[in-house]
Amino acid sequence: MTLAIRPALKREIDAIRDLERASSRRFLGVMDALAVDDPTPADVLARRLGADGLLAATIDGELAAFVMFRPLEDSHYIEQIDVNPRFQGRRIGAALIDAVAERAAAAGLARLTLSTFRDIPWNAPYYRRLGFLDIPDAALSDALRAVRREHVARGLDEGARLFMQRPI
């Protein structure tokens, strides 16, 4: 198995959306609405790609995972990360997060941030194992509160979510 992490390619946008759909099936029986939710719109992926905020992970040349992120305050905010179910359990997600951390360090940023589900095992508990710490609601910056408002507008249950950070 040869893992490669690189900037995503424009021609991969549809495949990334398909991968996101496949990955979301993990939520069936846990959060059914999320399991059938539409993937990230192609135009959003194209914008992140143009801003160097979309990385692809391949195994032996096959798209295995992606991470989408953007600068937010003193961090790279991880908006979405998905691993094709066929490739789960191989630390590909962790490798993608490390790649985002390397880019954040090179840009002089202090941390990574993300928002995730509090109690789903492959969400907050997973990120804690990767060195992320919970950010108390009272400590959320204006920018993270704005992200929370974006989530509410999309119909996400923010009561089930929390923000996390990992120092660079």
Q: Which long-range contacts (CB under 8 A, 24 or more apart) does 59-62 make?
A: 59/1, 59/2, 59/3, 59/4, 59/87, 59/90, 59/92, 60/1, 60/2, 61/4
- Is residue 3 within 8 A of residue 58, CB to CB? The reply is yes
CB atoms within 10 A of CB 59: 17
Predicted TM-score of the model (pTM): 0.91
**CATH code, 152:** 3.40.630.30
Q: Which two tokens stand for residue 166?
A: 């990992």
| Residue type (1 letter), 48 | R
**What is the number of domains present in the chain?**
1
Q: Which two tokens stand for residue 22?
A: 């496949």
Residue appearing with tokens 């096959």: 62
Q: Please tell me the predicted confidence (pLDDT) of residue 160.
A: 80
Cα–Cα distance for residue pair 120/30, rounded to 1 Å: 9
Q: Please tell me the predicted confidence (pLDDT) of residue 28.
A: 55
Q: Please tell me the predicted confidence (pLDDT) of residue 31.
A: 57
pLDDT in tens, the chain (168 residues): 799 999 999 999 999 999 998 887 675 555 545 555 678 899 999 999 999 999 999 999 999 999 999 999 999 999 999 999 999 889 999 999 999 999 999 999 999 999 998 888 778 999 999 999 999 999 999 999 999 999 888 777 788 889 999 999
Q: Please tell me the predicted confidence (pLDDT) of residue 33.
A: 55
Which residues, including other chains, have CB under 8 Å from residue 82's CB and lie 6 or more apart?
19, 20, 23, 24, 65, 66
Residue appearing with tokens 């119909």: 155
Element (H, E) at 128: helix 124-129
Q: Which two tokens stand for residue 39?
A: 């993937």
- Is residue 65 within 8 A of residue 93, CB to CB? The reply is yes
Q: Which two tokens stand for residue 132?
A: 């992320």
Q: Please tell me the predicted confidence (pLDDT) of residue 4.
A: 97
Q: Which two tokens stand for residue 94?
A: 């962790």
The boundaries of the domain holding residue 38 are: 3-167
Q: Please tell me the predicted confidence (pLDDT) of residue 121.
A: 75
Q: Please tell me the predicted confidence (pLDDT) of residue 34.
A: 58
